[in-house]
Amino acid sequence: SQQGEEDPQALSIQEGENATMNCSYKTSINNLQWYRQNSGRGLVHLILIRSNEREKHSGRLRVTLDTSKKSSSLLITASRAADTASYFCAEESRGSTLGRLYFGRGTQLTVWP
């Protein structure tokens, strides 16, 4: 299976703290993406990092990519209760049909007020 894996499976923190989620993948990639899913909703794209990039920022989100270790991390700074959701990484593998993504199992983040 090409499915990536997020770590930890679940994370519980207080508002204001930083949340770090990790993703490991198995193939050579064109890009790696992070998505968020609120309970009962569809996935929402957060950020994309290309294989030749090492770090990317978007608001309170910071994503890093280490292609030598086939891993990525998502950092949410100064977390809020509204950040409570599941977070998924998805890899677009080099050589796969353009646009096809392989999603991990997700990290369930709970942010307590």
Partner 1 sequence: DARVTQTPRHKVTEMGQEVTMRCQPILGHNTVFWYRQTMMQGLELLAYFRNRAPLDDSGMPKDRFSAEMPDATLATLKIQPSEPRDSAVYFCAAGTGGLETQYFGPGTRLLVL
User: At a CB cut-off of 8 Å and minimum separation 6, what does 70 contact?
Assistant: 24, 25, 26, 27
Residue 53: which of 76, 77, 29 has the closest Cα?
A: 29
Q: Which of 14, 18, 44, 94 binds partner 1 (CB under 8 A)?
A: 44
Q: Measuring CA to CA, which residue among 10, 72, 78, 12 is closest to residue 47?
A: 72
With CB under 8 A as the rule, give the number of residues binding partner 1: 23
Residue 31 touching partner 1 (CB under 8 A)? yes
Name the minimum Å distance from CB 71 to partner 1.
Answer: 19
Binding part of the chain for partner 1, among 20-28, 58-66, 70-78, 91-99 by CB under 8 A, reads 91-99
Among 63, 85, 104, 111, binds partner 1 (CB under 8 A): 104
